[in-house]
């Protein structure tokens, strides 16, 4: 399976990716997670990415495409991949078509005006990346691994506003890009998490 998860910031890409990886065993690759890991480790890529992430802008294509190209060469991608947060503009989509074109692109459709609350209320595990929301979670330890649950630095109102604008300007056009290739499937991301997942399973099982 070569799968791309498309969706606005806060659409639930990471949340659903965890569930898809558990059920189908496909390798989950999140460019955002890769950048944050590099940042934590203080690598040159991490330091470069930080300047863009903090402003809610895209990290330059050459940096991002290189990271994905290298990651797709690893052994766990031999039978496929699930990309979360890549591609994010037409240039990246064209680059991916050259590296290893996806079979299916799942768009998680949401109302953009509901995303501010989702993102400013999000908390994430600093160890395993599990997502939580303050409306249903009040602790500070991850229920999966016991790691510290924190707020992402780019989940403040100002930066979220910029991320949503970047999505509308640069990423949303990919819906038409993949529709034209006949690869697009859509699920309703405004439903409850388990109901969104059930829709995804229906789409993925129909592929097999
Ligand atoms: P990235 O980490 O990819 O962030 P993003 O795209 O903004 O998406 P998020 O991770 O914020 O949202 P998500 O869809 O994963 O939602 P989640 O499941 O957590 O990128 C961060 C930055 O890195 C970018 O701004 C950019 O600078 C850089 N970057 C990354 N990739 C790049 C690329 N390709 N090119 C250039 N730069 C790049 O859910 C959100 C919240 O909602 C959680 O609290 C969750 O519990 C809750 N929730 C989820 N689903 C539901 C539901 N159905 N109902 C109610 N609540 C829900
Ligand atoms: Mg995410
Ligand atoms: Zn954890």
Tell me if 192 is assigned to some domain.
yes
Range of the domain at 85: 2-110+161-207
Q: Which of 120, 200, 121 is nearest to 158 (CA)?
A: 120
Tell me if 38 is assigned to some domain.
yes
Q: What is the mean pLDDT of residues 140-162?
A: 96
User: pTM of this prediction?
Assistant: 0.95
Tell me if 203 is assigned to some domain.
yes
Q: What is the mean pLDDT of residues 22-39?
A: 96
Count other Cβ atoms within 10 Å, centred on residue 144: 12
Answer yes or no: is pLDDT of 37 > 90: yes
What domain count does the chain have?
1
**CA 122 – CA 136 distance, rounded (Å):** 10
CA 197 distance to own-chain centroid: 15
Tell me if 131 is assigned to some domain.
no
Going 155 to 161 to 162 to 168, the CA torsion angle's sign is positive
88 part of the active site: yes
Q: What is the mean pLDDT of residues 145-157?
A: 96
User: 137: CA distance to ligand 3 center in Å?
Assistant: 13
Nearest residue (CA) to ligand 1, atom 50: 12
Answer yes or no: is pLDDT of 207 > 90: no
**Token pair recorded at residue 125:** 């595990």
- How confident is the model at residue 129, as a pLDDT? 86
Which atom of ligand 1 lies closest to the CA of 122? 44
13 part of the active site: yes
Angle between helices 61-72 and 31-41 (to 10 degrees): 100
Tell me if 16 is assigned to some domain.
yes
In this structure, what CATH number is given to the domain that contains residue 35? Answer: 3.40.50.300
36 part of the active site: no
Tell me if 195 is assigned to some domain.
yes
Answer yes or no: is pLDDT of 208 > 80: no
Tell me if 41 is assigned to some domain.
yes
Q: 110-123: buried (b, 16+ CB within 10 Å) or exposed (e) per residue?
A: beeeebeebbebbb
Instruction: Kindly state the DSSP code that residue 127 receives in the 8-state scheme.
Output: T
User: Which of 19, 55, 152, 162 is flagged as catalytic?
Assistant: 152
Which of 6, 63, 131 has the most ligand 1 atoms within 8 A of CB, as the residue to mutate? 131
The model's pLDDT over 87-135, given as tens digits with 9 standing for 90+, comes to: 999 999 999 999 999 999 999 999 999 999 999 999 999 988 889 999 9
Ligand nearest the Cα of residue 189 is: 1
Could you tell me what percent of the chain has a pLDDT over 70? 100
Which of 19, 62, 96, 118 has the most ligand 1 atoms within 8 A of CB, as the residue to mutate? 118
Tell me if 125 is assigned to some domain.
no
């Amino acid at each position: 399976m070569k799968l791309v998860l498309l969706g606005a910031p806060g659409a639930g890409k990471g949340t659903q990716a965890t569930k898809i990886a558990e059920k189908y065993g496909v390798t989950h690759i999140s460019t955002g997670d890769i950048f944050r890991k590099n940042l934590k480790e203080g690598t040159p890529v991490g330091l470069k990415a930080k300047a863009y992430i903090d402003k809610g802008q895209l990290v330059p294509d050459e940096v991002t495409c290189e990271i994905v190209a290298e990651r797709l060469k690893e052994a766990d991608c031999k039978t496929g991949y699930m990309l979360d947060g890549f591609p994010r503009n037409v240039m990246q989509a064209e680059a991916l078509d050259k590296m290893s074109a996806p079979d299916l692109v799942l768009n998680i459709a949401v109302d953009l005006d509901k995303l501010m609350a989702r993102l400013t209320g999000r908390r994430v595990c600093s160890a395993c990346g599990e997502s939580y929301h303050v409306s249903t979670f009040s602790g500070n330890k991850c229920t999966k691994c016991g790691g510290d649950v924190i707020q992402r630095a780019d989940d403040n109102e100002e930066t979220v506003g910029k991320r949503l604008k970047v999505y509308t300007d640069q990423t949303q056009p990919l819906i038409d890009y993949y529709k034209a290739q006949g690869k697009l499937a859509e699920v309703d991301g405004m439903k409850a998490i388990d109901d969104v997942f059930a829709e995804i399973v229906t789409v993925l099982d129909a592929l097999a």
